[in-house]
Structure 1
């Protein structure tokens, strides 16, 4: 009985090990960016795709078309604070974040629909569209990222980076 239990356990361990060895890496792993402004949390959850040898801006991310700003499920934007993003007012709540990239300017889109797949977009649900400030990265960034930076008190900057692009906008808790 004891020998059979040991053999069964060994077989289970071998199968689990083989299964892990065959598991494929997630191409666009889930990531989260968070910040606290005046003690209230802002969180963005997104899928982080990689370049993998592809041309990104203007191809994988087409210009002049709404982009899900990440991969897989829609990028969620949840704020516990009322915000001023750029010059736009965004009340505390749950939203979906999209962008509208172009060669000369990006717009950050805060959309009121939530829970959908990333490619499902309805413009009539837009809360605001906010111009972003663009800069060129010195060297290509392989994995797309969303981050909060230069946080001080009730203010921060939201950055979206990928390939040679860094798009940002200021955020202030109200």
Structure 2
């Protein structure tokens, strides 16, 4: 190897060593409504799940629940992307037979009852692109008021498979078998 080639190679290696990556990926700030998931059974050690829901967790942040999820208007059931629920086997959800599969789930809140909508539309943002023709089921669920307020919208399954949703003082439960 010629002396000039060796010097060029060493110089190039030295420059590369000292150069920072100017094309580094810029990551966005953390989402203010992070994604979460709930499953049944809710034991992380159990891989044979019956159902799992992935949803955004909006916060009240001093705002009124009536403004964030108004009664009588379809709501995406969380924040950002529409909530997606997967049933890994055929189930009875809120008294209706649902085939195994993945669905988006939205809701129409009411003072004493919520209507949950399962749709075959997937990968949609909120409920903005909702198409009623793709409804799989509409489920009525009783809404109650709790004494304690939840700052973040939350979903959990109990050991019997009932899905519980809560935000502020509103609680909605949907049995699953």
Q: TM-score, normalised by structure 2?
A: 0.78
1:127 & 1:106 partners in 2: Cα distance? 16
Name the CA shift for 1:29/1:40 in 2 (closer, same or farther; >3 Å): closer
Residue 36 of structure 1 pairs with residue 44 of structure 2: no
How do 1:1-174 residues align onto structure 2 when only pairs under 5 Å count?
8=18, 24-36=29-41, 39-56=48-65, 58-119=66-127, 120-149=129-158, 151-152=159-160, 156-172=161-177
Q: Which has the higher strand share?
A: 1
Name the CA shift for 1:40/1:24 in 2 (closer, same or farther; >3 Å): closer
Q: 1:61-107: CA deviations, max 9, x gaps?
A: 11111110001111111111101012111000110011111112101
Instruction: Note the aligned Cα RMSD (angstroms).
Output: 2.5
Query: Which ranges in structure 1 are unaligned for 5 or more consecutive residues?
Result: 13-18
Structure with the greater alpha carbon radius of gyration: 2
1:49 & 1:113 partners in 2: Cα distance? 22
Name the CA shift for 1:24/1:115 in 2 (closer, same or farther; >3 Å): closer
Alpha-carbon deviation of 1:32?
Answer: 0.7
The DSSP-based 3-state class of the residue aligned with 1:59 is: helix
Query: Which ranges in structure 2 are unaligned for 5 or more consecutive residues?
Result: 1-9
1:124 & 1:67 partners in 2: Cα distance? 17
Runs of 4+ displaced beyond 6 Å: none
The DSSP-based 3-state class of the residue aligned with 1:70 is: coil
2:59 & 2:18 partners in 1: Cα distance? 41
Alpha-carbon deviation of 1:8?
Answer: 5.0
Number of residue pairs the alignment of both structures matches = 157
